Amino acid sequence: MRYFIFILVIFSTVNYSAYGQQDPQYSQYMFNTLAVNPAYAGSRDVVSATALFRKQWVNTPGSPATGTFSVDAPFKRERVGVGLVAFNDRIGVTSTSGVYGSYAFRIRLKKGTLALGLQAGFSQFKADYSSVVLDQNNQYDGAFVSNVNKFMPNFGGGVYYKTDKFYLGLSLPRFLDNGMFKKSDAAVTIQSYQSRQVFLMGGFVVALSQDVKLKPSTLIKYVQGAPLQMDINANVWFYDVVAAGLSYRAGAGTLVSMIEIQATKQIRIGYAYDAGFGKIRSIGQSSHEIMARYEFGYVKAKILSPRYF
């Protein structure tokens, strides 16, 4: 199993003939948008803080575990949004932690708001390869001798448009393809770097009745050399208090069920359960994700309708 986790880490980062998804996976991406698109900063028109924890493939030793915290707020009569995202993503003997600050310039249009966003920050990649037990005799292997500790500054950008009932966003969170590590021997050279990834997201809400609303959404992820991945989601809101939904992750063979509760006017909580199919089922059958959001400065007169995005 340790060999499997190491191979999974390598093939998610190497560049010799293979590429892979590197950014953390979020099933509740629609509640954690600032982590994907910096132009989202300030779009909820209040100070909003969101925490999310994800444990993937719970029965697999060394499986991915991700924690994210974000906070954002509007300024200058909601024409500017600022935000901060901190995260830690662990898989096997590797971990990536980082902090990014976001700035969004918001342009009010006739029916909605267009935001242009930038982010800048850094991540720290660590790999404790020397801790891997190769076999019962712990025989020498040059690939597992040296550890990695790499500081990687980066910046990115995005565009986000929303109305009360529709949103669309496009982002490139990292412009730089920082090198992470390089290992060579007589036969092969393995080089790892941060791949640029593009995210396209969109969604809308439609009333099925006075008390029931349907909220479909999608997130498309692209990285050079890897299969295109698409999350297709539909949530149904009841009385603007409870939502239940399903997602299908095309390209990964994953079905996600989720529930969201607007506990108070300021507190929202969510839970997602991922069930894998096909080959992914042999790795780990399930993943769990918990989300909590708190919004400060709630003013009743300011909130004309519930925020679905």
pLDDT for the residue numbered 127: 83
Residue stretches of the chain with pLDDT short of 50: 1-21, 301-304
Amino acid identity of residue 103, one-letter, is: Y
pLDDT for the residue numbered 280: 56
What residues have CB less than 8 Å from 68, skipping those under 6 apart? Answer: 24, 26, 32, 35, 50, 51, 52, 53, 85, 86, 87
Nearest alpha carbon to residue 297 among 42, 38, 13:
42
Q: Please give the Cα distance from 144 to 302 (Å, whole number).
A: 57
Amino acid identity of residue 62, one-letter, is: G
What residues have CB less than 8 Å from 281, skipping those under 6 apart? Answer: none
153, burial (CB in 10 Å: exposed 0-12, middle 13-18, buried 19+): exposed
Q: Please give the Cα distance from 223 to 251 (Å, whole number).
A: 13
pLDDT for the residue numbered 12: 44
Q: Please give the Cα distance from 11 to 190 (Å, whole number).
A: 10
Where in the chain are the domains?
A: 2-302
Q: Please give the Cα distance from 102 to 194 (Å, whole number).
A: 20
pLDDT for the residue numbered 224: 76
Amino acid identity of residue 90, one-letter, is: R
CATH of domain 2-302: 2.40.160.40
The two tokens of residue 207 are 């009333």
pLDDT for the residue numbered 184: 57
Q: Please give the Cα distance from 72 to 39 (Å, whole number).
A: 11
Predicted TM-score (pTM) of the model is 0.84
Backbone angles phi, psi at 275, to 5 degrees: -120, 125
CB 219 within 8 A of CB 204: no
pLDDT for the residue numbered 94: 87
What residues have CB less than 8 Å from 76, skipping those under 6 apart? Answer: none
DSSP3 helix / strand / coil % (the chain, rounded to 5): 10, 55, 35
Q: Please give the Cα distance from 98 to 237 (Å, whole number).
A: 34
pLDDT for the residue numbered 191: 65
pLDDT for the residue numbered 271: 96
Amino acid identity of residue 145, one-letter, is: V
12-47 confidence digits (pLDDT tens): 444 433 344 467 788 898 888 999 999 999 998 899
